Structure 1
Amino acid sequence: MDPVIIVGAGPVGLTLALSLARQEVPSVVLDEGPGKDEPRPARTVVLREDTADLMARLTGLDVEQAGTRWAGWRSLRRKQVMREVTFDDAAEPAPLHIAQHVLTGALREALAGERLAKVAVDSRVDTIEQEPSGVTAHTRGPKGTWWRGSYLAGCDGPRSTVRKLQDIRFPGRTAVERHAVAALRAELPWDGQALLHRMPPWRKSGPSAGEVTGRPLPDGVWRLDWLLPPGKDLVTPELLLARIRETLSGWTGGSTPSYELLDTGVHTVHHRLARRWRSGRVFLAGDAAHLLGVLGTQGLDEGLRDADNLAWKLALAWHHGPHEALLDSYQAERRGAVSARLRAADQVLPLLRGGGGLRAYVPGASRGHDALLADGHLGRGALGGPTAYAASPLAPRHLEGEVPVDTAPGAPIADVRVTAEDGSVVRLRDRLGRGALLVVLVAPGTGVWDRKHWVTAGVMPRLAAAVAALPHPAELLVAESYPGAAAHTVLLARPDGHLVAALGGVRPADLYSAAEAALGGPARAESGAGAR
C-alpha cells in the first residue's frame, strides 16, 4: 500500500503523521516551507486536557515544563471581580497555554525519529488526481515531482490548496473579531492566573472600551490580547505601546512597571466551515476545514481533534481496505462538532457584543455574560466543552445490556488508572492512539492482588474470550473504579478514547455488536480497496 499524503506541516498535519505512524501507517508530509518555524511568542495556543494529553503522548514533550497550566481564572468588569476559578486537577484540570512554535518544534522532532514518516520541504502542491485505487499529488518548486498515495489529507491552513483543487466551498463570516496582541515579560499581580478584564476603568465607555485578556506563559511571559472595535483601522506601534502602558499601570495601580516587549501582532478571527470534509480519498482537517476562535474558543484545539479522529479511521482502512461508512463518519462527527461550536458562538455574540440596550441593565446580566465568556476560554459548555459524538453514525443501537455511567456514549472516557495485560498500572489515556479498541472491566479490589491471582478468576476468562472474538484487535484493561459505574461494568472505547458503550456485566453478543458498530458496521468487500 502507498503512504498517506499529508499536505501541510503545521501542528495538525504533523499530529496526523505521528498518529498514523503509531498505528504502523506510513505517510509523507508535503511542507511548502523550509521545514523550520520562526519563534513567535505572541502566537500561542490553549489546549484542553484531552489535546494536551494527545501532544504529550505523541511527542514525549513534558507539557508542564514547555507550557503553563493556569493556577486559576479571574473575570473582572470595570473594578469588580465577577468570577474566580481555582483549578483542581481532579475536579477541573487547568488548560495548558503554550507557544505554538514550541509545540510545532516538538512535533517535528518526534517525527524526525519515525521510520514510517517522511517530510518533504519546499514542496507546494498544485495538482491532485484521484483513481479508485489511490491518489496522486504533484508538487512544484526545485524538488517538484509526483507523489503517489493511498489517501490524502489537506492540513494546509485557511487558504488550503487542497480544498480549492477539490472545488469545496468554504462559506462563513470574515473578521468576526480582531485583537491586538503582545507577548511581554513582566510581573503582574495575578501570579499564574489567566484573566479577562471587560470594560477596564482606564478606558472610555462605549463600544471601543472593549476587553483585555492576560494569559501567562513560562518564564514570566504573558500574552495580552485587546479586543479591537469593528472596522479596519490600522494598529500602529504607537497605539499598541499606549495600550500596553495603560493596561500594565491600570493592573498594578500606579505607574507603568518595567516590562520587556518580545513580540506583537494583530489576530483576526474568521468563522468558516467547509461544505465537505471528504472528497473520495481526499480529506480536510484543521484550518483547511474550519475557522473559529471568538470568545476564547481555540481553533487549533479542534484541529488536533480532527487529526486524532481521522488517524485511526485511515489506519483501519489502510490495513484492512476502505470501509466507506467508517471513513464517512469522520465528516459526520467532526464537522458536526465544529458546526455546533460555530452555532453556539453565533447565538452568543450578539448578546455579548451587542453594545448595551435594555439587556445591559437586566440584573445579573453581566454575571451571565462573564459565565458565557468563561465557557469559551476554559473549555466548558457549548462554546468549549468536550466533544461528544452522541449522534454519531458509529453509535451502536439497541444493546440490551447497556447501563448508564457518568460518561455519556460518544463522549471522551474518564482518565482512570487501569491495569494493562502485562500487569503494569497506567493511565487509561496512555493506551489510546494505538489502533486497538479498549475494553475496560470495572473490578473493585483487584488492585490489592497480583494480576496472576485474578486474571483467571471470576468473569475474566469469559470476558477475555469475548474480547478475543471481536472483529478488531482490542486491549483488555481492568480498573478499580470508574465514575458512575457499578462493579463488573464493561466499557468499550474507540482508539481515540470516545466511549462506545457501557454494559452491565460480560455480554459477548452486545460487546461484539457495539464493536462492529464502532467500526462502521459489518465490513463488505469493495473493489479497488487495496487491502493488505
Structure 2
Amino acid sequence: MLPVIIVGAGPTGLALALALAGHDVPSVVLDGSDGPPAPRPARSLVLAPDVARWSTLPGAHRESATWSAWRTVHRGREVEHHAFGPEDAPRHLPQHVLEATLREAVTRHELVRLIRGHRLTDFEQRDGDLLAHSVFRPTDGRREENRQWRGGYLVGCDGARSTVRKLLGVPFPGRTGVERYAVAALRTELPWPGEAGLHRGLSVGEVTVRPLTGGRWRLDWPLPPDEGLVTPEALLRRVAGTLTDWHDGEPPPYELLDTGVHICHQRLARSWRVDRVFLAGDAAHLLGALGTQQVTEGLRDAQNLAWKLAVASHLGATESLLDSYQTERRGAVGGRLRAVDQALPLVRGRGGLAGRLPGRGRSRAALLGDGHLGRGALGGPPEYVTGPLGTAATAAATTRVGARVTDVAVTALDGSRARLRDRLGGPLLLVLTAPGARVWDARHWLSAGLMPELAAVAETLGLPAELLVTEEYPGAGAHTVLLVRPDGHLAACLPGAHTELLREAVRHLRGVDRPAEPAGER
C-alpha cells in the first residue's frame, strides 16, 4: 500500500498520521521545521470534548487541565455559571506539550515515518499515485539533499503560509487581524480554582481567564483596534490591575511565566481538495476570534479525513467519499467564520448597540462565552446533516444523522465494556440498543434475538465494522441500530431487523451504488 504523504508536523499533521495508522494506513510526514517549538505557556490551546482524546496521550495528560466550570462575571456580578462534567469538559494545555507528545507517539509507530528537516519543493499528480519532491538544507556545511517520495495521496498541513496550497494555486481569502489580545501566563492563586471564565467591567476592561495545571493561568485581554504596540510595562499594569480587582485591592503574589500578543485572522481556502491533494489545519483555514479554537478545528479535519483516506487506500477511491471531506469540513469552518463576522460588531461595537444577535436573542455575554463553552454557532460541535454521506433515518433517535453521537456506555461481543467515545477512530460501529444488556451474559449474545444476523452482517459490509450493544440511547427505541462513523458522527439510524437497509447505508457511506466486496476479499 502506498503511504499518505503529510506535509507539516504540527498538531494537525501529526494527529492525521496517528489517525491513519489506526486504520492501518502508512504515512510519511515531511517535517520542514527547524526543530520542536520552544516552550511557551502563553501559547496554549483548548480542545473541545470531541478531540480531547489527543490530550490524554502519555506526556500530555499530566499537563492537560480539565475545566470544572465556566463563569461569566459583569462588574462583580455573576451572570452565568456552567459546570462541566467529565464527558463535556474542555481540556487546556500548552501547544508545545501537545506537539511534543504527538511527535513522540509518531516516532514510536511503525506505520509512520517522520522525516526531519525536509521541506516540500514540488509534487506531481499521476494517474494512480503522486510524486513529492523535498529538499534538506543542512547548516553544518554538508551537501544539500534532494529526495522523492511516492504516495497515494498528499495532505498539506503546513501552516498559514502553506507551500502545498501555493503549489496548487488555491486562493486563501479572508481578513487579517480581526482581533488582538494581550496574553500573559502566570502562576498564582485565584478565587476560582479549576474554573475558566470571562470577567467584564474590571478596571482594565475585559479579561478571559483559563486554568492550566500546576497553579498556572492564562489571561487574555482584548485590545482596541486603535491601540498600538503593547509594551511590557502596559502588560504588567494589566496583570496587576486584574489581580487587584479580583482580590478586593490586595493582589496575591504571582510569578509571571510568559507574555505575548495573540492576533486572530480569518481565512478560508477556496478549495480543500485537488485530485489526490488535500489541505487541512492552518493551510486550509484560520480562525480564533471570540473563543473559536483553531487547533480543535485542525484536529477535526484530521479525524474527518483519516477514515476517508483509509477507505480509499484499502478499497479504492470514490469521488463522492473524497469530496465529502471538503463539503463537510469547509462547510463547518465557513459557518463558524460567518458566525464570528455576525457577532463581532455586536460584542465589540460602541454606543447604542442593542447587543443582541438579530432573531436569536443572544446577549453580548452569552456570545462571548459560546466559543469557550462549545455551544451555538461559535462553539458547538460540527454537524454534517446536509452532507453527501448521510442516509435518511428510518428509526428515531435524538441525534440527527450527520451530528455527533451521544457518548453512552457500550459492551462488545467479548463482554468488555467501555464508553462509545473510546471505541471511535477505528472501524465503523454498529450500536444496537438492547434494554437489559447490562445484565446479560455476553456468552449468550451471539445466539439471542437479532445478534446472530447482525454479527454475520457486520463481517460482510465491505468496510471493517464492530458490533456493540448499549442499554439505551437517547430517543432510540429497542432494537435500533446506529451506524457510527469513525469520526463519531451518525451515518444512519435503522431498525435492527432490516439488515438490507444497513447494507445500503454502508454502500452509500462509501459512495458506491453496487454491493461492496467483503472486507476479507480485498
Q: TM-score when scaled to structure 1?
A: 0.92
- 1:153 counterpart letter in structure 2: V
SS at match of 1:283: strand
Secondary structure in structure 2 of the residue aligned to 1:5: strand
Whether contact under 8 Å (2:280, 2:302) holds in the other structure is: yes
Contact 2:55 2:91 in 1 (8 A): no
Alignment of 1:184-223 (within 5 A): 184-200=186-202, 202-203=203-204, 209=205, 211-223=206-218
Structure 1's 196 and 424: CA in aligned 2 closer, same or farther, altered over 3 A? same
Give the corresponding residue for 1:153: 155
Output the amino acid matched with 1:506.
A
Whether the 8 Å contact between 1:49 and 1:96 is mirrored in structure 2 is yes
Change (3 A) 1:54 1:513: farther
What is residue 141 of structure 2 aligned with on the other side? none
1:489 paired to 2:480: yes
1:219-273 Cα distance to aligned partner (Å, 9 max, x none) = 0000000100103611111111111111111111123321111111110000100
Which one-letter code corresponds to 1:480 in the other structure? E
Secondary structure in 2 matching 1:514: helix
Q: What is the aligned partner in structure 2 of residue 104 from structure 1? A: 99
1:277-292 superposed matches below 5 A: 277-292=272-287
Is residue 391–residue 401 contact of structure 2 (8 Å, CA) maintained in 1? Answer: no
CA contact (8 A) 2:507 2:515 kept: no
**1:126 aligned partner, one-letter code:** T
Going from structure 1 to structure 2, the CA distance change for 1:459 and 1:136 (only over 3 Å counts) comes to same
- Distance (Å, rounded) in 1 between the aligned partners of 2:466 and 2:279: 30
What code does the residue aligned with 1:183 have? A
1:395 aligned onto 2:397: no
Task: Provide closer, same or farther for how the CA distance between residues 318 and 505 of structure 1 changes in structure 2, counting only shifts above 3 A.
Answer: closer
Q: Show the 5 A alignment for 1:54-133.
A: 54-56=54-56, 59-60=57-58, 63=61, 65-89=62-86, 93-133=88-128
Is 1:270 aligned to residue 272 of structure 2?
Answer: no
Amino acid at match of 2:148: W
Cα distance in 2, alignment partners of residues 214 and 263 from structure 1: 15
Q: 1:174 to 1:31 in 2, by over 3 A?
A: same
The yes-or-no answer on 1:301 pairing with 2:296 is yes
Aligned pair 1:348/2:343, yes or no? Answer: yes
- The amino acid that maps onto 2:477 is A
Contact 1:493 1:499 in 2 (8 A): yes
Q: Is the 8 A contact 1:323 1:523 kept in 2?
A: no
Asked whether 1:315 is paired with 2:310, we answer yes
1:412-431 alignment to 2 at 5 Å?
Answer: 412-431=404-423
Q: Distance in 1 between matches of 2:356 and 2:446?
A: 64
Q: How many angstroms apart in 2 are the aligned matches of 1:394 and 1:134? A: 25
Shift of 1:2: 2.3
- Tell me the amino acid that sits aligned with residue 407 of structure 2: D
Partner amino acid, structure 1, of 2:495? G
Aligned match of 2:142: none
Q: Secondary structure at the match of 2:405?
A: coil
Aligned to 2:249: 254
Distance of aligned partners of 1:35 and 1:450 in 2 relative to their CA distance in 1, 3 Å threshold:
farther
1:464 to 444, 452, 455: 455
Change beyond 3 A, Cα 1:22–1:381: same
Identify the residue that residue 440 of structure 1 maps to in structure 2: 431
Instruction: State the partner residue of 1:479.
Output: 470
Would you say 1:516 and 2:497 are equivalent positions? no
Q: Give the direction of change, closer, same or farther, for the CA distance of 1:235–1:508 in structure 2 (3 Å limit).
A: same
Hey, what's the Cα distance between the residues in 1 that align with 2:478 and 2:244?
57
Bigger shift: 508-517 or 136-145? 136-145
Q: How many residues align?
A: 509
Three-state SS of the structure 1 residue aligned to 2:354 is helix
Please tell me whether the aligned partners of residues 184 and 222 of structure 1 are also in contact (alpha carbons under 8 angstroms).
Answer: yes
Secondary structure at the counterpart of residue 144 of structure 1: strand
Output the amino acid matched with 2:249. Answer: G
SS state at 1:127 partner: strand
* Range that drifts further, 284-293 or 351-360: 351-360
Coordinate RMSD, CA, aligned: 2.1
- 1:6 aligns with 6
| 3-state DSSP of counterpart to 2:221 | strand
Task: For residue 343 of structure 1, report the CA deviation from its aligned partner.
Answer: 1.0
Residues 212-251 of structure 1 mapped to structure 2, 5 A cutoff:
212-231=207-226, 233-251=228-246
Further displaced range: 38-47 or 228-237: 228-237
**Residue identity opposite 2:459 in structure 1:** A
Tell me the SS of whatever aligns to 1:403: coil
Quick one: percent identity of the two aligned structures?
Answer: 57
Report the counterpart of residue 401 of structure 2 in structure 1: 409
- For residue 206 of structure 1, what is the aligned residue in structure 2? none
Give the match's secondary structure for 2:214: helix
User: Which residue in the other structure is 2:42 paired with?
Assistant: 42
Q: Is the 8 A contact 1:360 1:366 kept in 2?
A: no
Unaligned runs of 5+ in 2: 139-144
- The 2-side partners of 1:4 and 1:67 are apart by 30
Q: Secondary structure at the match of 2:447?
A: coil
After TM superposition, the structure 1 stretch with the greater mean CA deviation from structure 2, 263-272 or 122-131, is 122-131
Q: Distance in 2 between matches of 1:16 and 1:320?
A: 19
**C-alpha spacing 1:523/1:300, structure 2 compared with 1 (3 Å):** farther
Matching residue's letter, 2:154: L
Corresponding residue of 1:528: none
Shift in Å at residue 471 of structure 1? 2.5
Aligned-partner Cα distance in 2 for 1:268–1:62: 25
Does residue 185 of structure 2 align to residue 183 of structure 1?
yes
Relative to 1, partners in 2 of residues 1:343 and 1:503: Cα closer, same or farther, differing over 3 Å? same
2:365 matched residue in structure 1:
370
**Corresponding residue SS for 2:197:** strand
The alpha-carbon deviation at position 366 of structure 1 amounts to 11
Task: Output the amino acid matched with 2:112.
Answer: A
Cα displacement string for residues 185-232 of structure 1 (whole angstroms, at most 9, x for unaligned residues)? 0111111111111231x14xxxxx4x2111000000000001001036
Shift of 1:111: 0.9
- Cα distance in 1 for residues equivalent to 2:226 and 2:124: 41
1:288 and 1:109, CA in 2 relative to 1: closer, same or farther beyond 3 A?
same
C-alpha distance in 2, partners of 1:361/1:387?
23
Conserved in 1, the CA contact under 8 Å of 2:180 and 2:262?
yes
Q: TM-score, structure 2 length as denominator?
A: 0.93
Contact kept? 2:186, 2:255, Cα under 8 Å? yes
Q: CA deviation at 1:78?
A: 2.4
Query: 2:16 maps to what in 1?
Result: 16
* CA displacement, residues 379-431 of structure 1 (integer Å, 9 cap, x when unaligned): 1011111111001111124x6xx122121111111121111132211221222
Amino acid at match of 1:492: L
Residue 47 of structure 1 contacts residue 95 of structure 1 at CA under 8 Å; is this kept in 2? Answer: yes
Q: What's the CA shift for 1:60?
A: 4.9
